[in-house]
A and B are shown apart, each in its own frame.
Chain A
Amino acid sequence: MTIALTAYVLVWPVIVAGVLAVISRGFFRELRAAKKEGRPII
C-alpha cells in the first residue's frame, strides 16, 4: 500500500512534466515559424 500511495503522489509531477514539454515544443515551433515568416507570433 505504501508503494502504491508513493506512486500515486509522484505520478502527477511526471505527467505535468510531459504536458510542459508538449506545450513548450509547440510554442517554440510557432515562434520559429513566425520569425521565419517575419510576422508576430500573436
Chain B
Amino acid sequence: MPPSQEIAQLGIVVVIVLLIVFYGGTMLMTLGIGRKRENADGYMTAGNRIGFGISAASMTATWIWASSMYASVTAGYTYGVSGPIHYGLWGALMILFIYPFGKRIRAVAPRAHTLAEVMYARHGRSSQLMLAGSNVLGSLISLTSNFIAGGALIAMLSPLSFGTGILIVAGGVLLYTLWSGFRASVLTDFAQVLCMLGAAVVVIPVIFFAAGGPGMFEAGVAAGSVTPQQQDFLSSEAFLNQGAPYIAAVLAYAIGNQTIAQRLFAVREDLIKPTFITATVGYGATVIGVGMLGVMALYLGITPLDGDVNNLLPQMAATYLPWALLALAFLMIIGALSSTADSDLSALSSIVMADVYGQSVGKDKANPRTMLLIGRITMIVATGAALFFATSQFNILDLLVFVGALWGCLVFPVIASFYWKKVTNMAFTVSVIAALVVFLPVRFEWVSLTGVLALPIEVLATVGIGVVLGIMAFGFFGLRVGVGVGIAATLAAAPFTLFFLRDYTVLSASLVAYAVSFLVCWALSVRSKQRFDFATIRRLTGDFDTGETPVTGAPADDDSSRRPGDGTPAHARD
C-alpha cells in the first residue's frame, strides 16, 4: 500500500532560518579569505596551488548538482535497481577519465585559467571561440537549472513561491561568490560537501528503514510494482536508454565543462590524481546512493507528486523523514545546487576575464583591476540571465542537448591538440563544424533513420564507439594501446550495432559526433606540415596580475609569464 501523497512542509519560518544559516554561514566563511586587494589570477584559479582536502571537496561538490540527484532518483524509479548505476557510475567516470589528460594539460599550460585560453595559444581565435562559447552556454544552462531546482524545492517544502525561491537562491549564491570569486567557491565547497555527504550518510538509511526496510522488496514484487527488467541488475533497457548515452558523454562533459578545467588549473600539480580519484568515488557513491530513493519509491508503488518524477526526491524525504532530518535533506539539496551554481559563476567570470578581456582589449596591457571588475560584473549579469531563463518558457533540455553535442564534437580535436603537433586550427574548426552538421539531424530526428541512410549512420556510430574507448585507453596507457583498443572496439561492436542502433537516436547521435570530428580532424592533420612547439603554450598562458598595474606583457624571469608585448600565437601572426 503506497503512502499518502500529501507531503509535510517545513514551514516558512524554518525554511527562511535554514537559508539564512546556510548562506549566512558561507558568506562568513568567505569574509575570512577576503583581501584588501584581490588578485585577478587568484580570483580565477586561486594561485594554482590548492591542497588535496579543499580541491577534492570542491571537485566533488561541484560535480554533484541538484539535477544529478533528481536524475539519479528518476533513473532508479524508471529503470529499477540498475538505474542509479547507469546514471551515477558513468557520471563519476567522467571525472576519472579526464585526469590523465588533466595532467598533460597542466604540464603544457601550468598557469592557464581556462581551456579556451590554451586553445587560443595552441590554434588561434576560432578554436578558442568554439570552446569558450560552449563553456559559457553550458555554465549558463547549469546555473539556470540549479536556480530552477532551488525554487522548486523551496516552493514544495514551504509556502514561499517558486519565484521567491529562485530569487533567494540566486541572491545567496551571488552574495558569497562575488567578492572572492573562485577562492570563495572552492572554500565554501568544503562546507557544502560536509552538508551533502553528511546528509546522504544519514538520510538514505533512515528513509530505507522508515519505508519498511528489507520487506519493501518482497512486497513490491508481490504487488506487481516492479517489472522483471526493473529487478535485473543487468537490465539491457537501462543500459541502452540510460547508461550507453552517458558513456558516450563521459569525455564530452569533462572536456567541455569549465568548472572542471578551472579546478584542474587550481589544484597543486602533484595532487591531480588523488583529487580526481577521491572526487570520482565521492560523486559516484553519493549520487548512486541518493538514486536508491527512486528504487525504494518504485518498490513502494509511490506515484510522483503532480506526475513529475523530479518531485520524487523531496517527496520521499518529506514523506519518511522526521522534521529535523527533513531540514537536513533540504540543506543537502541546497548545498548541491549552490556549490555548482557558485562554480558556474566563477567559471563564467574566468572565461570573460581571460578569454574575452584578456585576449582582446587587455591582450598586451591587461589591467588586473579592470579584469576583476569585469569578472564581478559578469557574475551579476550571468545571475540576471539565469533568473530570466528560469522564469521564462525557455526549453533548457534542448539547449543542454545541443551543448552536450557541441562538447562531444570538441573532445577529439581538443585532446589531440595537446599531444599531436600536426593538428591545425583549420583541422580543429572544420572537424567540430562537420561533426555538428551530422549530429544535429540525427539527434533531433530531422532525417529518419531508416533505409539507405540508417546504415552509414550506424557505421559512423560504431566508429564512434572505437573513438570513445580508444581515447579513454590512450589517456591511461598511451597511443599504441589507445589505437588498438579503438580498432578492436569498433570491429567487436559492429556485429551488434549495425541494423540495431537506428532505434536509439540519442546514443547514435552522440557517437556520430565523436566519429565525424575524429575522422575529419585526423584526415586534415595527418598530412599537415605543421610541427607545433608545445612550449609556446607555456609562454603564452600565464599570470595576468603580476603586481604591476597595468600588466604590459612584461616578462618575468621564468618562462611561465607572458611573452613581452605578445599575446598572439606565433602561427596566428604568420
* Residues A20 and B53 in contact, CB atoms below 8 Å apart: no
Q: Name the A residues within 8 Å of B281 (CB-CB).
A: 15, 19
A-B CB contact pairs (8 Å), 18 listed: A2-B214, A2-B217, A5-B214, A12-B288, A16-B200, A16-B285, A16-B289, A19-B285, A19-B286, A20-B193, A20-B194, A23-B57, A23-B278, A23-B282, A30-B53, A41-B54, A41-B187, A42-B50
Q: Classify the secondary structure of A's interface with B.
A: helix
Q: Is B420 an interface residue (CB 8 A)?
A: no
Given A2-B217, A9-B204, A16-B200, A26-B286 contact (CB < 8 Å): no
Query: A10-B204, A15-B285 given. 5 additional CB < 8 A pairs?
Result: A12-B286, A13-B289, A19-B60, A19-B285, A23-B190
* Residues A5 and B81 in contact, CB atoms below 8 Å apart: yes
- Interface centre among B46, B54, B198, B285, by most chain A C-beta atoms within 10 angstroms, is B285
* Residues A9 and B53 in contact, CB atoms below 8 Å apart: no
Q: How far is the CB of B277 from chain A (nearest CB, A)?
A: 10
Given A42-B50, A42-B183, A42-B186, A23-B60 contact (CB < 8 Å): yes
Instruction: Tell me, in angstroms, the Cα distance from A12 to B217 when the chains sit together.
Output: 18
Instruction: Tell me, in angstroms, the Cα distance from A21 to B208 when the chains sit together.
Output: 23
* Residues A6 and B51 in contact, CB atoms below 8 Å apart: no
Question: What 4 pairs between A and B have smallest CB-CB spacing?
Answer: A12-B289, A26-B53, A27-B53, A15-B285
Interface flags for A29-40 (1: CB within 8 Å of B; 0: not) read 111000000001
Given A27-B54, A28-B53, A30-B53, A13-B295 contact (CB < 8 Å): no
Which residues from chain A sit less than 8 Å from chain B, CB to CB? 1-3, 5-6, 8-10, 12-13, 15-17, 19-20, 22-31, 40-42
Residue of B nearest to A27 (CB): B53
Size of B's binding interface in residues, CB under 8 A = 40
Q: Which of A1, A28, A41 contacts B217 (CB 8 A)?
A: A1
Interface residues of B in 28-76 (CB under 8 A from A): 33, 46, 50-54, 56-57, 60
Instruction: Tell me, in angstroms, the Cα distance from A27 to B192 when the chains sit together.
Output: 13
Instruction: Tell me, in angstroms, the Cα distance from A41 to B51 when the chains sit together.
Output: 9
Instruction: Tell me, in angstroms, the Cα distance from A5 to B33 when the chains sit together.
Output: 46
Given A6-B214, A13-B289, A19-B52 contact (CB < 8 Å): no
* Residues A20 and B217 in contact, CB atoms below 8 Å apart: no
Interface residues of B in 85-142 (CB under 8 A from A): none
Interface residues of B in 158-188 (CB under 8 A from A): 183, 186-187
